[in-house]
Structure 1
Amino acid sequence: MRNCVLTLLLLSLSYFAIAQSKADQDEIYGILNRQNGDWNRGDVKSFMKGYWESDSLMFVGKNGVTYGYNQTYENYLKRYPDRASMGTLKFEFINLTFPAKNAAFLVGKWNLTRPEKGDIGGHYTLLWKKIKGKWLIICDHSS
């Protein structure tokens, strides 16, 4: 029953999604394209500029939930300590919706090509919020 209620809620949010401007869509895709380039240059610090710099930032991954910008950054550095581990990142955007004013929800795929370490990839769900006129990731669920 609980899953049915959650499914209905998510369907209603997507059905009544508030249209945002093309500029909002372009800004979000632009941030992810910049992050992609930052990653592929080995610049994790710049990659993190797409995230909300707050203790309330949430990252959900295979090891559970991490809270906070600094902890998320440290986890990236620990998990990807060198260029061989980082590989070459490629994002695929599947669905971008705007369930509320100044909120966006993006589902996509990620892939790391890593000749020395083996390729990895999966899907991601990003919850965005427009804060002080700038779109920022406030929750990242990557698996």
Structure 2
Amino acid sequence: MRTLLLVVFIGLLTPAVLKAQSADEKAVRAVLAQQNEAWNRGDIDGFMKGYWNNDSLMFVGKNGVTYGYKNTLDNYKKSYGNAEQMGKLTFTFIRFSRLSPEYYFVVGKWELARKDGDLSGHFNLLVRKINKEWVIVADHSS
């Protein structure tokens, strides 16, 4: 009897857990979609809203490790000074992995279509829920 009750309880609980995970993944995807839209408007400041505004933000790119929101923003502005240099960004997601109720790990590909030559690479992101909002706390893009 207890086994039956346990199976029924787990059966009732599972849809709620899956729904919560799905809602969180949708929220993470929404942050990345907003970044994509901002980039394609030529709005680096808007793009950066997806990142944790903190000195502990970590960005790993071709020039090594950068710490801090302001340093990351400055690097983006230096590398992509105008909308033409920014081009049009496309993300292709490879994997979303929920690590815990407050962390997601995302792997994907980025592509920039530009007049001066296209660029592409891969990324992995550590996304964390802070103050009820999902933000990128670590980004490794190459």
Q: Shorter-chain TM-score: what band?
A: 0.7 to 0.9
Name the SS of the counterpart of 1:129 in structure 2: strand
Name the SS of the counterpart of 1:50 in structure 2: coil
The alignment covers a number of residue pairs equal to 125
Aligned-partner Cα distance in 2 for 1:79–1:67: 17
Structure 1 runs of 4+ off > 4 angstroms?
Answer: none
Letter in 2 for 1:122: G
Instruction: Answer with 1 or 2: which has the greater Rg.
Output: 2
Residue number in structure 2 paired with 1:66: 66
Residue number in structure 1 paired with 2:132: 133
* Cα RMSD after superposing both structures: 1.3
Name the SS of the counterpart of 1:31 in structure 2: helix
Q: CA deviation at 1:100?
A: 2.0
Runs of 5+ unmatched residues, structure 1: 1-17
Residue number in structure 2 paired with 1:78: 78
Residue number in structure 2 paired with 1:124: 123
**Could you tell me the TM-score, scaled by structure 2's length?**
0.85
Letter in 1 for 2:90: K
Residue number in structure 2 paired with 1:15: none
Aligned-partner Cα distance in 2 for 1:141–1:124: 5
Runs of 5+ unmatched residues, structure 2: 1-16
Percent of aligned pairs with the same amino acid: 50
TM-superposition CA deviations, 1:89-126 (whole Å, max 9, x none) = 000111000112201000000000002x1000100000
**Could you tell me the TM-score, scaled by structure 1's length?**
0.84
Letter in 2 for 1:119: D
Letter in 1 for 2:129: K
Residue number in structure 2 paired with 1:28: 28
Letter in 2 for 1:113: A
Residue number in structure 1 paired with 2:106: 106
Aligned-partner Cα distance in 1 for 2:126–2:48: 15
